[in-house]
Chain A
Amino acid sequence: MAAVPVAACRLLRLRAAGAEGHWRRLRGAGLPRAFLQPPSADADATQRREVAHFTFQPDPEPLEYGQTQKMNLFQAVTSALDNSLAKDPTAVIFGEDVAFGGVFRCTVGLRDKYGKDRVFNTPLCEQGIVGFGIGIAVTGATAIAEIQFADYIFPAFDQIVNEAAKYRYRSGDLFNCGSLTIRSPWGCVGHGALYHSQSPEAFFAHCPGIKVVVPRSPFQAKGLLLSCIEDKNPCIFFEPKILYRAAVEQVPIEPYNIPLSQAEVIQEGSDVTLVAWGTQVHVIREVASMAQEKLGVSCEVIDLRTILPWDVDTVCKSVVKTGRLLVSHEAPLTGGFASEISSTVQIRKLRLKKGN
């Protein structure tokens, strides 16, 4: 099924030793147009609806975490939640329609397994859900709240930004709601339009005190979600909804953790650094292989994974190596998280130049 990610790109050209001649060569090759035509562009593309596509690229089977099973993204999430509820007797899952399994089947079977006082529905009230979750977390229990679509998270924005994020600080570390995790389906899905497609990570990136995480695949999702749940800070975990069924790979059955605030270099390269998160990582991987094939450009692909706090060092180290940075995300361009990344990288580069 073709996806319609709206990609906002910031392309930075940073001077690096020896890179300039290469850059001119790339420009001469008609870079923008060649870069962006999908290999399957039809002659009648102008008559059909314009769609971009992505192909989910599974990672190789992980061998270090024990036995694996083929899972898609929602099954990986269910597995992570199952592990959490089994390990932590204070863990509870709540949200709209989670009891029967959730509208995306992320909580299937959990109520039967753990009981209706640990997996329960809430009424239709996002602000209430998050506020209630903060309350649970403050007493020390583990609260895993679901907001049915990221588009609906805005009534809860005040609770997240004003209550959850600042609890530890304002109480002088006497209290905290670190055991709160908010999970929410995120990103475009093709037919979602205004209110089932949004990527609001940038709004939350502007708020110290919380962590924001976006996985790209089932294996990443389970490890990152378990890390979010165990992390002692309130976390928001955005799950790319288009990948719920489309992404299938081998995922360990036992619990495992993927560290937060660590970006992953998926593919090493020397000419340009490409940074993305969520679904867009798969678009970028395809772009990297196209660039290699058609232009001889070697791309370093980085999955940011954690938006806040983000792994500045990995990205900057990569840009020092390649001299160029391209960040791509689904959310709107202005004020999108790419602007934060690009400005930080530029500040760091300037400092490096000055020998700081």
Chain B
Amino acid sequence: MLAAAVSRMLSDITPKPATSRVLVASCDYSNDATFEIKKCDLYRLEDGPPVTAMLTREDGLKYYRMMQTIRRMELKADQLYKQKFIRGFCHLCDGQEACYVGLEAGINPSDHIITSYRAHGFCYTRGLSVRSILAELTGRRSGCAKGKGGSMHMYTKNFYGGNGIVGAQVPLGAGIALACKYKENKEVCLTIYGDGAANQGQISEAYNMAAVWNLPCIFICENNRYGMGTSVERAAASTEYYKRGNFLPGLKVDGMDVLCVREATKFAADYCRSGKGPILMELQTYRYHGHSMSDPGVSYRTREEIQNVRSKSDPIMLLRDKMVNNKLASVEELKGIDVEVRQSIDEAAQFATTDPEPSLEDLGQHIYSSNPPFEIRGVNQCIKFKSVS
């Protein structure tokens, strides 16, 4: 799994130029280091995840590269949106990288993830290339949903989107967990929703079903403190989202520390896999951008607050400091990764802006799964598209 993930990332990188930087001999680095991580608050649990985490140099570089890729991909999406290559709605997740990378690190590729519309990070960690993500954002045919889904509707193997109606994905996640239990394959489903969606009724329904049927479902509340522009205190009677499962055990996790997220996810996944039933995780995280590209993000929070989080809890910075201070990597090496990531993102963006849009014939397809094909009309009454699947 590790090799696959590493090779997947390496395939995104352009070949190094002839004047390559000098690779420092790896014997100057430690192979691994152990860190103390924040203890998770527990609800209805005797024991929680460990308070120390071991990070190997290899994993550290991998997490760093992944988080940096997500960060730069989101910033590139911001740029493309302002240049009007991306239209419609675009919800960016920079600041929350540790959640995505940490969650992926705690599970197997054969496990399942479903989330809401702030999904670009998961698309990447679940295996989609930056190219296919950016091409989907710009609505081109090489996009992961063939250009027809856009920012909110991206899917890949074992990743069920990308859902526009918040809260609606949670019962779906419980259903996926039921399938895992039924097939007896020891897989789990991470069902993720935000602090705003946590107040939707159907989430309580999903908690109940998961508990009654003992489903291997990890409910994860990505608490970035604001549901669009509404702070959690104003929307929720209880902002302790990890306790909102009532009869479900819960964990509160520091979502800005990738190791904390990883350990908590491993703990939760083991809990589910051992047949103990569903569990709830709250990831305390933060988004730098506003709710979407139409939201400046500063009318309901101060710039000082954003700056504060950036300087004290930025997930990439935290990992970089951990690795450098414990001799897992050097500053130059990480800077080198930054440069490579930037290059690969620029290349992907170049591709995403030049790939052709889906043909008009594709527009009407896949409405039903049926034979024979039928005609549907488009915007202009005289132009009909064929729906085939």
Residues of chain A at the chain B interface (Cβ within 8 Å): 4-7, 9, 32-33, 36, 49-52, 96-97, 100, 103, 121, 123-125, 127-128, 151-152, 155, 191-196, 333
Contact = CB atoms under 8 A, between A and B. Distances in A.
Contact of B230 (A4, A6, A121, A151): A121
Given A50-B380, A51-B379, A121-B230, A155 B197 contact: no
B379 A52 contact: yes
B167 interface: yes
A100 B201 contact: no
Determine chain B's interface SS by DSSP, over half rule: loop
Contacts of A333: 377
Contacts of A196: 89
Nearest to B88: A191
24 contacts: A4-B379, A7-B381, A32-B381, A33-B382, A36-B382, A51-B379, A96-B228, A96-B230, A100-B300, A103-B228, A123-B196, A123-B199, A123-B235, A124-B199, A124-B227, A124-B235, A125-B200, A125-B201, A128-B199, A128-B201, A151-B165, A191-B87, A191-B88, A192-B88
Nearest to A154: B165
Contacts of B230: 96-97, 121, 123
B167 A124 contact: yes
B164 interface: yes
A195 B235 contact: no
B106 interface: no
Interface residues of B, number: 34
Nearest to A126: B200
B150 interface: yes
B379 A50 contact: yes
Interface in B272-307: 299-300
B381 A9 contact: yes
A202 B94 CA distance: 40
B330 interface: no
B48 interface: no
Given A191-B87, A193-B150, A194-B164, A50 B381 contact: no
A29 B295 CA distance: 50
A193 B200 contact: no
B312 interface: no
A155 B379 contact: no
B379 A6 contact: yes
Contacts of B343: none
Contact of B165 (A5, A49, A100, A152): A152
Nearest to A11: B381
Given A32-B381, A191-B88, A193-B150, 12 more contacts: A9-B381, A51-B379, A97-B229, A121-B235, A124-B235, A125-B199, A128-B199, A128-B201, A194-B153, A194-B164, A195-B164, A195-B165
